[in-house]
Amino acid sequence: MQVQLRTTVREGSFRRTIIRAMRERRALVLVYTRANGTETTRTVEPYAFTRSAGGDLYFRAMDRKSGESRTWRLDRVAAYALGDAFRLEVPEPKSDASRATAARIRAFDEAAAMDEDFRREHADIARRAYEAALLGSPVELEGARR
């Protein structure tokens, strides 16, 4: 599979990409800098976030090369891209913190789906309001308060 790596890594957008990969059950292709400074390219299947005692943000992912679960530090990712569908089994959360993280991800997924439904339902109103603003004219919106 050919992927285009995103080489400008901002933690916020990368974190959202990890969440998207988890939600869509898609792999990530990473250029990762190890603690010794060497770079490696890996394909991983993310399933959880965690923080170190020092506050560094990590994510847990199945590493396709080893077939094992690994911890990846976000600030060591030099480039990334969304990949293909998950192939490996994700381990069940073992700790209360991991189960809580999994619950937060599920809640986020549900909220994102509700937000998408809301946007679809209200897209016409938003489009008409945007067009009216561009044209500098008032717009009548059903149910809008004055």
For the whole model, what pTM was predicted? 0.59
Strand order through the sheet with 39-51: 68-73, 57-63, 39-51, 26-33, 77-85
d(CA 65, CA 70): 11
Query: Average pLDDT by consecutive 10-residue portion of the chain (146 residues)?
Result: 52 81 90 93 90 83 92 90 84 67 67 67 67 56 48
Provide the pLDDT for residue 114.
67
d(CA 18, CA 30): 11
Is the torsion defined by CA of 30, 4, 11, 112 positive or negative?
Answer: negative
Provide the pLDDT for residue 32.
93
Provide the pLDDT for residue 15.
84
- Take residue 136 and report the two structure tokens written for it: 């500098």
Provide the pLDDT for residue 23.
84
Provide the pLDDT for residue 99.
67
